Amino acid sequence: MGTRRRDRWLVPREPEQLRKLFIGGLSFETTDESLRAHFEKWGTLTDCVVMRDPTTKRSRGFGFVTYSSVKEVDDAMEARPHKVDGRVVEPKRAVSREDSNRPGAHITVKKIFVGGIKEDTEESHLRDYFEQFGKIEVIEIMTDRNTCKKRGFAFVTFDDHDAVDRIVIQKYHTINCHNCEVRKALTKQEMNNAGMGSRGYGGGPGGPGGYNNGGNRGYNPGYNQGGGGGGGGGGGYGGNGYDNGYGRLLTLVDGLLFFCSGAFLKVEVLF
């Protein structure tokens, strides 16, 4: 079993959460050293650890690597796919402990929900801003069917899930001088998986809600070194009044918008 090494003499300027990668699908034979030997090809690692069962010391099939800069993280993600000890692994941007229990936090998607869209915000504004994160496939600014007025939110689809992960880590974004909240856009199936209490991800292919490495305990891409399974819970997008008078947006499932307006629940067909 390897010895974990943390390079404390390095003092990165960027927040640790933005410099951290969750590595899933590890072989049970992978050690801290072999994990480090692979990922340090793309930069200086300030931390590297394979997570293990506290009792048996057996690998739980996942680990974390922390780089000294965000650019090194980007370089490592650009170099996908990665193979460690003969096995293709799944690197993802690590989810913070605070966000790890939010519905859908660990689901891999290529589409985001953008709340806080104002009347003067056009598709070009969204494209100019979000293309810094990755290649955009589709932008949809939702409008009222009758008045054609903007409804206060939009959807942006990318060609790679990593663009979405980069965006949602930041949470709040300023687009066309307006503050916007961004979350993952989930399908009905993904919502159901999250609502059923998804147990996170394990080392290999498994059933709904993620991966399961041959009975290995589920894991959470949040930096939870104390053990335990992944985040679950139900729900959807939530909202903070980004609805231009429609009420607080609760969730969206397969084209149906659910709003809370006073004491009433409103359901509207989106598409």
Buried b (16+ CB within 10 A) or exposed e, 61-88: bbbbbbbbbbebbbebbeeeebebeeee
- Residue 132's SS3 state is coil
The three-state (H, E, C) secondary structure of 164-220, written as one string: HHHHHHHCEEEECCEEEEEEECCCHHHHHHHHCCCCCECCCECCCCCECCCCCCCEC
The pLDDT of residue 86: 97
pLDDT in tens, 31-64: 999 999 999 999 999 999 999 999 999 999 999 9
Longest distance between any two alpha carbons in the chain, whole Å: 65
Domain spans of the chain, in order of start: 16-93, 111-185
Residues 6+ apart with CB under 8 A from 256: 267, 268, 269, 270
Low-confidence ranges of the chain (pLDDT < 70): 1-12, 194-271
- List residues bridging with 4 in a β-sheet: none
Q: Is the pTM of this model over 0.75?
A: no
The pLDDT of residue 105: 83
The pLDDT of residue 270: 52
The pLDDT of residue 146: 94
**Fold match flag (16-93 vs 111-185):** yes
The pLDDT of residue 162: 97
The answer to whether the beta carbons of residues 202 and 53 sit under 8 Å apart is: no
CATH 3.30.420.40 fits 16-93, yes or no: no
What are 161's two structure tokens? Answer: 């899930």
Rg of the Cα atoms in the chain: 20
The pLDDT of residue 143: 95
Q: How far is CA 205 from CA 23, 29, 144, 151, 194, in A?
A: 14, 18, 41, 39, 17
Q: Return the CATH number of 111-185, one of 3.40.50.300, 3.30.70.330, 3.90.78.10, 1.10.3720.10.
A: 3.30.70.330
Q: What are all long-range contacts of 118-122, with beta carbons under 8 Å and residues at least 24 apart? A: 118/150, 118/152, 118/176, 118/178, 119/149, 119/150, 120/176, 121/150, 121/175, 121/176, 121/178, 122/176
